[in-house]
Amino acid sequence: MASSSNSTESLVNNKWIQLSVGLLCMAMIANLQYGWTLFVDPIDAKHGWGRAAIQIAFSIFVFTETWLVPVEGWFVDRYGPQIVVMVGSVLVGLSWVIDSYADSLPMIYLGAVVAGVGAGAVYGTCVGNALKWFPTQRGLAAGITAAGFGAGAAATIIPIANMIQSQGYEQAFLFFGVAQGLVIFVLSWFLRKAPKTQAAAKVSRLAQTKVDFAPGKVIRTPVFWLLYIMFVMVASGGLMAAAQIAPIAHDFHVADVPVNLLGLVLPALTLAISLDRVLDGLGRPFFGWVSDNIGRENTMFIAFGTAAIAIVLVTQLGRNPLLFVLFTALFFCVFGEIYSLFPATAGDTFGSKFAATNAGMLYTAKGTAALMVPLSSIIASHFGWHAVFYIAASFNAVAAILALFVLKPLRASFLQQGETTDAVLDGSTA
């Protein structure tokens, strides 16, 4: 009996099992963000609160999901991943149960707060845990984990839409809320804290710190704030451009033009948006893997530069329906990689011990970037979508240059200082 128990525990402590559990947990929270749009019109049809008022709940969700991740990460670093994800599972399930019974906007907003806290607990934990279990493959591990959130809703979007149509949005909220919460709760039992020996198990081909920097120290470093600014620039540029994809398609009169792509025939806009979820999910682990092999900054330069070029190509050649689909697809493919490259870079730079908290602090850049999206609508209304696209392209181009010519030498200097500090500490304890 003891031998069987030890064998099971040994299996659970396999780093690929841990990565798989994190991936599944992330897939279970994806609908909180990507499935929300399915509920807006049915809620409005029943209560007449107005789409704008209902959509405030989405902004509340993004805010709480993003800005509380550092706090949740602190609990992970201190108490381990299991308990934090367990609590998150309860909140994830409870949030949609609240929405299923909500008969007022304040209740909808309460559900958004609960959903944001729960999703943040799961997201921050799974990404931070992946960084700790894969110290030499942080890009790939963070990318695979983030892909669960980027593409996890794909399998359940149609069932949710069908249940809303056949049984009402309340039943869909209730059923899928409870189901998602239960799945995460069960999975949380299999999460384990990475052993300290994991960090030294294998030498990485990339430069990494030998010192674990506490969050208080991290936020006082220029490297962190440069990463933060770059994250905001790329994320806001991407979100601003993505928000204008539909207007540009209609302006170019290609939105409803059928496009045949490898035998799949769909209207250009529908096909472009559909490819978003797929390529966003695939791009995260791919570019994470690339960065494990050629370096974080080199990969950032390639990805951010490609995004800038893709945005410009859409504006110049997007009147051709096929090119519109292809270039928007290219843009989407290189947009989601920020959720693998930045956490991996933070882990390499600041160490494994406080990886969940430090990556969580950097992740708040997503919340800052989200605040820029309403500004893009104002810019578009005054100067047209072209202005938004060129701003987005400029943000990506500048971030690409910063990655190669500012971040790379700055991080190298920071890591060299860390080695000196580590050598001094070793000498003092000898």
Q: According to the model, what pLDDT value does residue 119 have? A: 95
Number of other CB atoms surrounding residue 329 within 10 Å: 18
For the beta carbon of residue 315, count every other beta carbon within 10 angstroms: 17
Confidence label for 426 from pLDDT (cuts 50, 70 and 90):
very low
Most confident of 24-28, 329-333, 386-390: 24-28
Mean pLDDT of 220-246: 90
Q: Percentage of the chain with pLDDT > 90?
A: 57
Identify the pLDDT of residue 276.
77
Surface-to-core class of residue 50, CB atoms within 10 Å of its CB (0-12 exposed, 13-18 middle, 19+ buried)? exposed
**What span, in angstroms and rounded, lies between the C-alpha atoms of 248 and 243?**
10
Q: Could you tell me the domains of the chain?
A: 8-200 (1.20.1250.20), 215-429 (1.20.1250.20)
Q: pLDDT digits over 335-355, tens only?
A: 888 999 999 999 999 998 899
Q: Is the pLDDT of residue 296 over 90?
A: yes
Instruction: Express each pLDDT in 139-154 by its tens digit.
Output: 999 999 988 886 777 7
In this predicted structure, the answer to whether residue 429 has a pLDDT above a threshold of 50 is no
pLDDT confidence of residue 336: 85
* Mean pLDDT across 81-95: 96
Mean confidence (pLDDT) of the chain? 88
Residue-wise pLDDT for 158-179, tens only, equals 888 889 999 999 999 999 999 9
Q: Which tokens sit at 307?
A: 């995004």
**Lowest mean pLDDT across 6-10, 81-85, 153-157, 248-252:** 6-10
The pLDDT assigned to 201 comes to 44
- Dihedral sign, CA of 319, 321, 326, 328? positive
More confident residue, 97 or 378: 97
Distance of CA 82 to the CA centre of its chain: 20
- Burial status of residue 409 (CB atoms within 10 A of its CB: 0-12, 13-18, 19 or more): exposed
Is the pLDDT reported for residue 11 higher than 90? no
Percent of the chain with pLDDT over 70: 93
The pLDDT value given to residue 255: 87
Confidence of residue 419 (pLDDT cuts 50, 70, 90): low
The 10s digit of each residue's pLDDT in 256-284 is 899 988 888 888 888 887 787 788 888 99
Q: Is the pLDDT of residue 1 over 70?
A: no
Nearest 5 degrees, angle CA 99-CA 100-CA 101? 90
What is the rounded average pLDDT of the residues 74-102?
A: 94
When pLDDT is cut at 50, 70 and 90, the band that residue 417 belongs to is confident
Provide the pLDDT for residue 175.
Answer: 96
Please state the pTM of the whole predicted model: 0.85
d(CA 324, CA 272): 8
